[in-house]
Amino acid sequence: MSELLELSIIVVNWNVCELLESCLLSIRQYAGLPPEKYEVHVIDNNSSDNSVDMVREKFPEFLLTANSDNKGFGRANNQAFPQCRGKYILLLNPDAEVREKAITQMLKLMDSMPDAGILGARLLNSDGSFQRASGGALPTLNNIAWHWLNLFRLLPKSWAPQPTFLIEDRQGTFDIGWVSGAALMIRPAAVGNNIFDPQFFMYGEDLELCDRVQNSGWRVLYTSKASVMHHLRQSVSKQSSAEILASVVKGNRAYFRNRHGQLRTWIYDLLLTCGYSARWCCFAVLSIVGNDPSYAEQGSMNRHHAGVAFKSFLRCGRQ
């Protein structure tokens, strides 16, 4: 029987060679564990760039699996799960970089809380600012409307539901509805046979996982004591597949429908259509009056997401 390690790390990659290299370098530098105490599984989903050759050449100590097709984020993590020998498993996006002591802090916290099934890290944007998508409350129509319709700008704060994204850089370690799969540590016993529900190709799988783990009696926690830089949208922005880009909307929607049913999902689609459309208009204006080319990119992305949400709204209304 293989010796139990302190930690297994899974990194699923698809066509982001440069980001992946930075991610793996950060693990090598800041793992905080002797090399014999942890392992890294890199699952490549049939990248057409130089990702596989780069890993083989520069990170020979890591365990590489080169798939012949794109299995998606969730299924690729599930693929690595049976091979993991760690007491805990850290899921890390290829566009993420661990900071000093982040991993050891997460391990200490998991050891100190035997009822913790999942622990999420504090995510930072590329400029070092706090990333609100580190976690939040599980989505409901109330907090979706509050977020996407910008009701927080119009209504008293006392009316605010539990936010679907963290609204401030709250310190400490505390229970939470969901945490981002960009940097998520799990206790294998808490997740069953698979980490993620295989119906999720990409996006939404972290919501479903956290919900399932909590319903099984385990705690889902977030900590500000472990920071991970997450280059948000840089991985997705490098993708040209319309289906991959659509999964940003479709994945979260699939979770919402499974949990809340068709009628509430129809309203959910309408809220997202309005929210993305408003952001599309704002960024379109900014792209005209401003000098930042990212405004046009943001406008294009929100226009695409608005279209996906609107088509879902129409289909759901006919059913």
CA trace torsion 40, 46, 47, 52 (10° rounding): 40
Q: Which of 78, 81, 56 is nearest to 66 (CA)?
A: 56
User: pLDDT of the chain along its 319 residues, tens only?
Assistant: 467 899 999 999 999 999 999 999 999 999 999 999 999 999 999 999 999 999 999 999 999 999 999 998 999 999 999 999 999 999 999 999 999 999 999 999 999 999 999 999 999 999 999 999 999 999 999 999 999 998 988 889 889 999 999 989 999 999 999 999 999 999 999 999 999 998 888 888 999 999 999 999 999 999 999 999 999 766 555 555 556 667 778 889 999 999 999 999 999 999 999 999 999 999 999 988 877 888 888 898 899 889 998 898 888 756 6
Q: Which of 116, 103, 69, 113 is nearest to 219 (CA)?
A: 116
27-31: long-range pairs with CB below 8 Å, 24+: 27/92, 27/98, 28/59, 30/98, 30/99, 30/100, 30/101, 30/102, 30/103, 31/7, 31/98, 31/103
Whether 221 and 173 have beta carbons less than 8 Å apart is answered as yes
* Radius of gyration in angstroms for the set of CA atoms belonging to the chain, rounded to a whole number: 20
Q: What is the DSSP letter of 272?
A: H
Question: Which residues, in sequence order, are bridge partners of residue 12?
Answer: 43
Domain covering 5-236, topology:
Spore Coat Polysaccharide Biosynthesis Protein SpsA; Chain A (3.90.550)
Q: What is the pTM of this model?
A: 0.91
Residue boundaries of the structural domains of the chain:
5-236, 261-318
Sign, CA torsion 68/72/78/84: positive
* Cα end-to-end distance, the chain, whole Å: 52
